[in-house]
Structure 1
Amino acid sequence: MLPLDDRTPVELLAIQRPQFEPPRTRYLYYPDTAPVPEGVAVNIRGRSYKIIADVDMTKAAQGVLFAHGSRFGGHALFIKDNKLHYVYNFLGIKPEQVFVSGPLPEGKHALGMEFIWEKKGDHGESLGTTILYVDGKEAAKGPMRAQIGKFTLAGDGLCVGFDSGDNVSDLYQNPGRFTGGTIKGVAVDVSEEKYVDLDKEAQAAFATD
């Protein structure tokens, strides 16, 4: 019997499924809300993306700013030991891909990261460069690979201020709720624009609040 669909598993995982709303280039998310299902969350698979968190923090601040996925695959932006961390967990394979800033001063900050897509790997995964930013200035940089399948194949919805279900990273424990400050919101941008002047981007994203 001939196969009804001869596409490979990698090709099937990369298919863009129908969404409940038209795709956009910028998505805004807020704390104290329920996890956002992946069917209506921003799609970062196979593309460049930026995450920008507008935060007012003390030196005691710690916890999750943004998280999507689980220990079987996902990514998270969080504060630990007074430093900004971004972790990309590639299908639960160790070691985790970790990017860490220097110490953060208390006060208002635009904290974020950018993944610059460069090419496909041997198995269809995304290969590129990740840059961590604090107030628009580069804080860490290095190569990264990203999965093409959805995080919710074995994970959780998109969260701001905490991580539901399994924690994305071993560097914090669930729910990893953010304390010691306030999160005004988190923007995820999938446009092709350069990551320029992060402070102004964050302010513009949440100017209507």
Structure 2
Amino acid sequence: MAATAAARPDLTQTRCCGKEVADGTGSRFTVGRGATCAAFRLGFGSMARRGAQRTAAFVAEAVRTSGVRAVVATGWGGIAPEVESGDVLVIDQALHDWLFPRMSAIVHHGGSGATGAALASGHPQVVCPFVADQPHWAARMHAVDVAPAPLRQQDLTADRLARVVNDVALRERAEHLGELIRAQDGVTVAVDALERLS
């Protein structure tokens, strides 16, 4: 699905350097890589949560403290949209495989889809698991050194996010794994395996 937002700020006119990209719907905003023009993506998918105001305050503080910009995907979790500013873009949702590669870090709930897309993006992750298989994926991301130890969403702070965005070793490991994953053709392998069964 395409990124959507009411009264979306024109992030092409912000202080952040970077490359202008389009999402296929005519919407444009500037994202980039590196400490001075990075953006992180924060979203918890369908995980219904309380504390939307706290999350809004956290995002504003993280943007101010870390010197990066944020794309906040509200999803079904309902992160407060009033956090939107010149350095924060609030969207309902966007395709992970389109958005994640344009970010510098991915904050997510640890669902298998978000985890796989974050790995393929080649960027560090912060995983805040809620239920089901999410704690497993959060632990795996930490074990393969692309994320710090899993955090409860309530324990996510601007300082912790800034450390992840600026952690060179974490970023290099994530880039390496991302390259390996993108080099695979998993769909073809899966189809071949299924055809051998029939």
TM-score (norm 2): 0.29
* Higher-RCO chain (CA-CA 8 Å, sequence separation at least 6): 1
Greater percentage in strand: 1
When you count helix as a share of all residues, which structure comes out higher? 2
Tell me the TM-score normalized by structure 1: 0.28
